[in-house]
Amino acid sequence: MSDLNAAMATIAQKTEQFLEAHLTAQQLSAPLPAPERLINAVRHGALNGGKRLRPVLVHLTANLFPQPAGDLIQAGAAIECVHCYSLVHDDLPDMDDDDLRRGKPTVHKAFDPATAILAGDALLTHAFALLADGNCHPDPALRNQLVIELVEGAGVGGMAGGQMRDIEGERKGYDPETISLIHAMKTGALIRASVRIGALMGGASKDELAVLTQFGEAAGRIYQLADDILDATQSSEQLGKTAGKDEAQGKSTLIASHGLAHARSALQDELNDALPLLTPFGDRAAPLAQLVTHFAERQS
Amino acid sequence: MSDLNAAMATIAQKTEQFLEAHLTAQQLSAPLPAPERLINAVRHGALNGGKRLRPVLVHLTANLFPQPAGDLIQAGAAIECVHCYSLVHDDLPDMDDDDLRRGKPTVHKAFDPATAILAGDALLTHAFALLADGNCHPDPALRNQLVIELVEGAGVGGMAGGQMRDIEGERKGYDPETISLIHAMKTGALIRASVRIGALMGGASKDELAVLTQFGEAAGRIYQLADDILDATQSSEQLGKTAGKDEAQGKSTLIASHGLAHARSALQDELNDALPLLTPFGDRAAPLAQLVTHFAERQS
């Protein structure tokens, strides 16, 4: 675990440094000078000292392979820009209307809603240039594929579609199948894209990519199940955010419909199914297996 | 003129057809099923029977060259998605708060603000996949370049940055230099990107690209100057939108600071400088020259 923690901390730190250096007026003033206020809002939304879980997934998946090519930190940073854009927009008054994120004012509180809309738009926009850029990977055709993977993770069949389904659910009510689909789209699709982007940069064959896609989808479900259990069992203080939010919002998670014991057993089943998918990668798979086990253990 | 009008109508129609066929749940449900409401909002924002000026620019610029490669309609449609996303977000209550666009309710009026935010996000996201897709152009490295061109046109040094500067100007006041910069970013950057994307798909050399970039920047200024003159001289009815909006918003355009005659002469000067840039392209340049002349003549 301490090896994994050290690896995770290093990737998080390098991602933060990359974003710190890249999200500047100097780097992004093309063709014309970027306004300081927008750069500041973009940085407020992206430089938050997060765990950078998606970049970690890119890195650990690429390292299932003996010779990953390209700049894994740059690719991870692109996904992180998309993740951060989604937080900035989801926090808006017209969306979830959250004032705080990681103990800091959200972008629309620190600036204003119009600036937050633009900052989210800008993070989303610039993410794609990071993947299309020659430094990201030596093979231009593979860079095109990375762009398409990120679009699918973020688009109407992924994250944005998941947020739409979540908003519709708040009005119409949820059932467990809908909740699963919302999770798979809202959280799962970008986790899946992170694993696939790592696999592609590792040089995965078609078959390896298919297996790792399965693994990425399972990782998303494990992450979300553990999150649901945490939400139901921990205090807001332990959680660092409002606890019991799912129940308060009428979200019939697996816990509400089938109880906590069932959710814990479903989580264990998911983990038992996911880990063998990594067997073909031998010793190289240990960190990724540890990470997903760590996701599952968060709830205990 | 009638030849140009026919060509423009054909490109607009093909672009509309492309978007009509592409912006569907069937096309965009990867990895998971896109929600109908979001698809409908995306379509409401993008299928508006507009003039599709940016796709026209891509097409006419690529056709300065004897053998443009790739699918010019697909590339133009990608830029149009970005243009439409910007309209959807600019119309939001937290931004310009407009209820009508081309006589139809804006997306946030037809749906709601949260859906409009997501629909804009989705249009922006999927635009990049259209450029990265193999059908767009046979050369993968060039496709990456197209992605980067669109990011720069749309990003903090382009359209999003221009909108930010415009919002700041509403609070702090404008001077003519600021207005010019706002126009160059908010409208000019995507027009410039359209011309550059057309040039790249035409197979422009480095020098040709540089000349056409100058032309694209001039085309943006001409378009905007004519728009300013129209705003100052026509009734709302003639304009199809609220006239005198610039003056009412305290925007010191060239007209407010130097008068209408000066603005008309500046427009003529821009046109006189821009057209000779097309001379090296011979007869093939006639439609593009006509188009930009047409921009300038809108004000008379």
**B:41-100 residues touching chain A, CB 8 A cutoff:** 42, 85, 89, 92-95
Q: Which of B288, B258, B293, B245 is nearest to B60 (CA)?
A: B288
Per-residue pLDDT reduced to its tens digit, B14-58: 999 999 999 999 999 999 999 999 999 999 999 988 899 999 999
- Rounded to whole angstroms, the Cα distance separating A58 from A66 reads 15
- Rounded to whole angstroms, the Cα distance separating B241 from A52 reads 46
Q: How confident is the model at residue B93 (pLDDT cuts 50, 70, 90)?
A: very high
Q: How is domain B2-297 classified at the architecture level of CATH?
A: Orthogonal Bundle (1.10)
pLDDT at A298 over 80: no
A196, closest residue in chain B (CA to CA): B31
Q: What's the CA dihedral at A230, A235, A236, A241 to 10 degrees?
A: -10
The answer to whether the Cβ–Cβ distance between A181 and B94 falls below 8 Å is no
- Rounded to whole angstroms, the Cα distance separating A4 from A260 reads 28
Q: How confident is the model at residue A152 (pLDDT cuts 50, 70, 90)?
A: very high
| Contact status of B135 with chain A (Cβ, < 8 Å) | no
The answer to whether the Cβ–Cβ distance between B164 and A35 falls below 8 Å is yes
Give the CA angle between residues A117, A122, A125 to the nearest 5°. 125
pLDDT (0 to 100) of residue B252 = 57
Question: Which of A31, A115, A151 is closest, CB to CB, to B189?
Answer: A31
| Contact status of B35 with chain A (Cβ, < 8 Å) | yes
Question: Which of A117, A157, A160 is closest, CB to CB, to B95?
Answer: A117
Per-residue pLDDT reduced to its tens digit, A165-185: 999 998 887 888 898 999 999
pLDDT (0 to 100) of residue A230 = 87
Mean pLDDT of B248-262: 74
Whether the ω angle into residue A276 lies within 30 degrees of 0, i.e. cis, is no
- Rounded to whole angstroms, the Cα distance separating A238 from A56 reads 24
**What is the distance in angstroms between the Cα of B104 and the nearest Cα belonging to chain A?**
22
Q: How confident is the model at residue B177 (pLDDT cuts 50, 70, 90)?
A: confident
Question: How would DSSP label each residue in A148-193?
Answer: HHHHHHHSTTTHHHHHHHHHHHHHH---HHHHHHHHIIIIIHHHHH
Mean pLDDT of A190-211: 98
- Selected for mutation to probe chain A from B22, B29, B42, B144 (highest A CB count within 10 Å) is B144
Domain-wise residue ranges, chain A: 2-297
Task: Write B211-216 long-range contacts (CB < 8 A, 24+).
Answer: B211/B277, B211/B280, B212/B61, B212/B64, B212/B277, B214/B277, B215/B274, B215/B277, B215/B278, B216/B57, B216/B61, B216/B191, B216/B192
End-to-end CA distance of chain B: 16
Mean pLDDT of B253-261: 78
Position with higher pLDDT, A248 vs A113? A113
pLDDT (0 to 100) of residue A48 = 85
E-strand stretches of chain A:
100-101, 104-105
Chain A environment of B192 (Cβ under 8 Å)? 31
The answer to whether the Cβ–Cβ distance between B161 and A129 falls below 8 Å is no
Alpha helices in chain B (DSSP H): 2-22, 25-28, 36-46, 53-62, 72-90, 107-110, 113-132, 140-154, 159-172, 176-183, 189-202, 206-233, 236-239, 245-248, 254-258, 260-274, 286-297
| Contact status of A115 with chain B (Cβ, < 8 Å) | yes
**What is the distance in angstroms between the Cα of A169 and the nearest Cα belonging to chain B?**
11
Using an 8 Å Cβ cutoff, are B120 and A85 in contact?
Answer: no
ipTM score for this prediction: 0.95
Structure tokens at A133: 């850029």
Q: How confident is the model at residue A197 (pLDDT cuts 50, 70, 90)?
A: very high
- The DSSP call for residue A38 is H
- Selected for mutation to probe chain A from B32, B97, B133, B148 (highest A CB count within 10 Å) is B32
Residue B178, CA distances (Å) to B168, B174, B183, B282 in order: 10, 6, 9, 36
Structure tokens at B145: 């370049």
- Rounded to whole angstroms, the Cα distance separating B216 from B187 reads 11
| Contact status of B152 with chain A (Cβ, < 8 Å) | yes
The answer to whether the Cβ–Cβ distance between B124 and A126 falls below 8 Å is no
- The DSSP call for residue B105 is E
**What is the distance in angstroms between the Cα of A141 and the nearest Cα belonging to chain B?**
5
